Each structure stands twice: as structure tokens, then as C-alpha cells.
A and B are shown apart, each in its own frame.
Chain A
Amino acid sequence: MPNIFRIVFQDSSVFLGGNSIHNSRWLEIPDRPISRLEYFLSDGEGIILEGFESYLCFVEAETTIARPVGNCPKCNSKGKISKRITKYTNNEIKQDFIARCTKCDWVGNIQDLKYLIVPQSDKYIYIMGLKNGMVTSYRLSLLGKDGEDKYKIGDITKRVLPLGQEFRGRETNRALWKMGVK
């Protein structure tokens, strides 16, 4: 697996990130001024940030406490599927799962559901640089959507926001930013 990012320090030395977003090695970056951050995308291209006062990369994730388990394969309804224990046999307790769509009455196996959802999902990668009190943020979408969401896997959204409002109107963890060249 390739490294997900490369740091070039002011002294021209280099630090390579880990090989997955779950093992980025961001916390292992030496405390030296960074002149350039290169973040590599899966297609071989990348995002390069250079000349910023500090840098941050992180992953946004969601854990959903109560969620439907998937989309109906017949009507594609979202949020209407239920998963139920339907029978028990003899003295041996047995679970028999089915999926039922309360919108179109489709009934089938749970394996037939489309887009089966995992409990915790990584949604976006953020690559940020700070300069003159403003944060330049590149957001890379990790999940594909089939419905209303306008973002697809790999879409990149650039925003420039005041420091303190860089993540959904709120601040990021200052301790995780790595210093650039002043």
C-alpha cells in the first residue's frame, strides 16, 4: 500500500505517512517546520499544500446509534427496512432473520439489501492549511451516495474559512496541527 501523504520539511528532509487513513502516522510527524504537504489520492494524483503556517489532516467519521439496515432492492426505499427475528424451532432457539420493506412490502433475506450499512463509517478526509488567520480546507468524499447527497466518492470540496470555524463552523484540535514555515 502506498503512503497516504508525504511531508517535506524546511530542511528538505521527508516524512512519509502511513498506508491507510486508519494508520496515518500523523501524530508521529517530527516537530519541525513543514514547507510542503503532499496528500496522495487513490488514482495516483494528489493535493499539495505549500507555504502555510500550519497543517492538519484528519478523517470525519460517523457512528449511528439507531439506523435502518439498508435500502430495499425492490423500491430502493431508505429508512423503511426492518430486520426481525421471525421464528424459533423446537427447544433449540434459532434466529431467522428476514428483511421487510414497510413501503412496498418486499420481503427477503437480509443479504439482499442494497448498500448494507456498517455501524461506523469514515465519510470525509480533510486536508487543511492555515495562513493569516484563514484556513484553506480540501474535503475529499469517501462514501458514495445514491440519493439526495450531491457528493460522490472522490469529490473534492475546497473552502476557505476563518480559523475557529474551519470544521462545520467549529474549531479543530489545535494540538494536532503541525507547524509550517512562518
Chain B
Amino acid sequence: MVVNCVVHVNKSAVDNPKSTHPANYVQMDLANDKLIFSAGSAAVADGQPTPSSAELNEAATIIQAVPVEIAHTFLLDVSNIGAELREMLMANSGANRYVICLAFSGATASEPTLEAWDDDTHVTANLNCLGLGTPADSMLKAVLTTGGAPGPGWAGTPIAGGAAPNLILLNGGGGALGGATDVYVNIHWDVPGAFLSPFIESPVLSVRFSYV
């Protein structure tokens, strides 16, 4: 029986699960919506229309001498016409639990994983933001929060490619999912201090799972 994985993001500042607060969540249209990570600006802010490339550039995170976390995560929700940018207020290194909900419709044949890749071929993870081929250096940090909130300032796991330990096991290492369930993760980006190259990149985040 086919199993689907539907992605919902919490657009509110209320740290509650989708099961009890469904109105706080937006289901991602995975063919059209995107996630945008930005330092933010007047044009790149919650409730604003789709920003131009120039506006995104102006709102880029500045590389500093010390590591810096990308301040804002936005869902580009194409269905919210005229106000496509929705800030995901809890997608950061704060102690936030219910941020990204991965809703599985049934039991899986193996433990699902959250992975990051250069593109949809899922062959390489060599982008600047993914560690230039060294997965442990990935700037993208993720944490499984289904069982509880991460600590404030959580470090998480640098994710890049499809090999342990640089992926997230979505049942905490407990194996396959036994039935339909909601899994929660949080993510944030840490840009290393004095990183040599500025970049604009579009990695992909993927959930790999299986079913009988």
C-alpha cells in the first residue's frame, strides 16, 4: 500500500503540534513552494509578495568574522497570492519543537531519513552550503524533535548527502515507522566565520522512505 509523506510547516509562533493546532500549519505545495533562508529586509519579510532576485540579494546573510546563523526562514507559498512570503518564526536554533511536520500516511518498510543534496538527482552534496563535499562541514543543521524540544541554541546534525551520520533518522534510530504518524524536525543554517566564498545556492531537502 502506497505511503505518502506530506510536508506541513508551522507559520505561527505557537509551538504546538499539527494534530491539535492544524490552523497554524500550511501544507507545502512541493511542486511550487520553496523555502527561503535570508537575513531579511523590508521586501523579504512575512506577508510580502514574491521577492525579486535583486531583493533576495540585498537581504543576503553577510559573512562575518565569526559564525552567523541565517536569521529568517520563509515559506514561499505561491497559493497565498500577493503575500507569498510566510515567515517560519520557529525555524531556527531556538528551543522549538513543532516546526516542520512530515506527515506519513502509513507504516514504512525502513526508517525514513531527511537528507540534503545539491539537486534532485541526489548524487552529489558539494555545494558551499553543504560543506563542499565534506558532509560534516554542512551549514545546514537539522534536529529530530518528535519526542521533545531541542535545547536552546541546539547544534543539531550537519546534513549533506545520504550517508550516516550526516542525515536525520526520522524515528530516532528506532527503525521503520509502525503506522501513520507525524514526524517533526527543525532546521537552521550556520555560516562559518570568515567563509571564503559568497554564494547563491539552491540545495534540495529530501525525505527518503519506503513502503510495501
Which of the residues B3, B28, B110 comes within 8 Å of A172, measured between beta carbons?
A: B110
Is A62 an interface residue, CB under 8 A from the partner?
Answer: yes
Contact A173 B121 (CB under 8 A): no
Cβ proximity bits A4-45 to B, threshold 8 Å, 1 near / 0 not:
000000000000000001111011000000000000000000
Chain B 1-15 residues near chain A, CB threshold 8 A: 1-7
Question: How many Cβ-Cβ contacts under 8 Å join chain A to chain B?
Answer: 152
Q: Closest Cβ of chain B: how far from A175's Cβ, in Å?
A: 8
| Cα A102 to Cα B110 with chains together (Å) | 38
Selecting from B60-68, B78-86, B149-157, B191-199, the interface stretch reads B78-86
What residues on B are CB-neighbors of A69 within 8 Å? Answer: 31-32
Contact A58 B207 (CB under 8 A): no
Contact B110 A65 (CB under 8 A): no
Q: Which chain A residue lies CB-closest to B204?
A: A67
Contact A126 B204 (CB under 8 A): no
Cβ proximity bits B25-55 to A, threshold 8 Å, 1 near / 0 not:
0001111101100000000000001100100
Is A120 an interface residue, CB under 8 A from the partner?
Answer: yes
Is A157 an interface residue, CB under 8 A from the partner?
Answer: no
- Find the residue from B119, B164, B207 having the highest chain A CB count within 10 A: B119
Q: Closest Cβ of chain B: how far from A72's Cβ, in Å?
A: 12
B interface bracket (residues with beta carbon within 8 Å of A): 35 or more
Q: Which chain A residue lies CB-closest to B175?
A: A171
What residues on B are CB-neighbors of A64 within 8 Å? Answer: 30, 120, 204-207
Cβ proximity bits B141-177 to A, threshold 8 Å, 1 near / 0 not:
0000000000000000000001110000100000110
| Cα A59 to Cα B119 with chains together (Å) | 21
Q: Which chain A residue lies CB-closest to B5?
A: A63
Which of the residues B49, B121, B211 comes within 8 Å of A58, measured between beta carbons?
A: B211
Q: Which chain A residue lies CB-closest to B32?
A: A83
Q: Closest Cβ of chain A: how far from B110's Cβ, in Å?
A: 5
Given known A149-B123, A167-B110, contact A65–B210 (CB-CB < 8 A):
no
16 more contacts with CB within 8 A, not counting A85-B50, A170-B110, are: A21-B2, A56-B212, A57-B212, A59-B109, A62-B206, A63-B4, A63-B209, A65-B7, A79-B120, A85-B84, A88-B82, A102-B53, A148-B124, A170-B111, A173-B110, A173-B175
Subset of 6 A-B contacts with CB under 8 Å: A23-B1, A58-B109, A61-B209, A67-B30, A119-B30, A173-B110
